[in-house]
Amino acid sequence: MYKCQRCGLLFGSRTKRNTHVNGQCKIGVPDLSFLKDSVIITRRKQNQAK
């Protein structure tokens, strides 16, 4: 489970948490740890492709 940093609403997946932060939660802020994780994953995929 993931939790909105501001309003405390819980989600079952990262994508749901991300849309909540961007849309539903009026005082939400982006979760930087989530952004770092996605960047690392895409880099790994690019490295494997080479």
Query: β-strand 10-11 against 2-3: which pairing, if any?
Result: antiparallel
Quick one: how far is CA 10 from the chain centroid?
13
Alpha-carbon torsion, ordered 6, 21, 12, 46, to 10 deg:
-130
pLDDT of residue 23: 47
Tens of pLDDT along the chain (50 residues) come to 666 666 666 666 655 545 555 445 654 455 555 555 556 556 666 666 66
pLDDT of residue 12: 63
pLDDT of residue 28: 45
Parse the chain into domains and list their residue ranges. 2-49
